Amino acid sequence: MTTQQPQQPQQPQPYKKPLPVLEPETRPFWEAAARREYMLKRCSSCKQFHYPPQNVCPHCLSSNTVWIRGSGYGKVYSYTITYQGGGPGYAEEVPFVLGIIELDEGVRVWSNVVGIDPKEVKVGMVVEAVFENVAGQGIAIPRFRPRPQKKA
């Protein structure tokens, strides 16, 4: 969960990866991410979660969708270890893991799996959201890392 985020060492070089360009429909997601909260959209009319977050519910077309703070917990649904490319910032950091996470709320979301040797990532692995601060931008990028399992 987000509050357990360890202190990240300050990176000397600037963040080169693409940043989201905030717009009315997406701004709350990124503002919450900066507060280390993983937000989801749920429809007040049909009560269903959806992803990606939209102002109009993709299930019933209601405009009564509200932001809900998600658990940030989920499982790896699928992933790939990228060895080539990925665009600015990423291409220099290969190999890295692009992954689809199935959140406990039932929606599958797009992200990265971090905090683990890419070769150790497995489908079904239990993960939690972490947030990578982008220095000086007031933005944090949500990613997922293995979630420590409680000892029996």
Which residue lies nearer to Zn ion by CB, 39 or 129?
A: 39
Contacts of 20 (CB under 8 A, 6+ apart): 26, 30, 139
Residue 97 CB, nearest approach to other proteins (Å): 9
Q: Name the segment binding other proteins (CB under 8 A); options: 5-13, 14-22, 64-72.
A: 14-22
Residue 152 CB, nearest approach to other proteins (Å): 26
**Binding of other proteins at residue 140 (CB under 8 A)?**
no
Pair of tokens at residue 115: 């905090």
Which residue lies nearer to Zn ion by CB, 46 or 126?
A: 46
Residues 1-60 within binding reach of Zn ion (CB under 5 A): 43, 45-46, 57, 59-60
**Binding of other proteins at residue 81 (CB under 8 A)?**
yes
